[in-house]
Amino acid sequence: MLVLSRKKNESIVIDDRIVVTIVDIRGDKVRLGIQAPQEVTIHRSEVYDAIKSQLEQPQSPDSESISNSVPQ
């Protein structure tokens, strides 16, 4: 892991396409501004983990698709 120190209004650049700027610092919280191409998805880690676990769960068929698959 790369660890950098930045002050308010200072930025880092990732891969010439993503700019992360320190917007505000209040106590133990840091607000970040992120500029990235639209095709780059950005999530907080807890949201990313929730999405990932949701995609890994086996999908159970809904009741409508079950009733449509039963021969009449």
The Cα–Cα gap between 4 and 64 comes to 53
pLDDT at 57: 82
Question: Under the phi-then-psi rule, with left for phi > 0, alpha for psi from -120 to 50, and beta for the rest, what region is 27?
Answer: left
Q: Full-prediction pTM beyond 0.85?
A: no
pLDDT at 64: 58
- The chain-wide mean pLDDT, for the chain, equals 88
Question: Is 61 a residue whose pLDDT tops 70?
Answer: no
- What would the mean pLDDT of 3-20 be, rounded to a whole number? 97
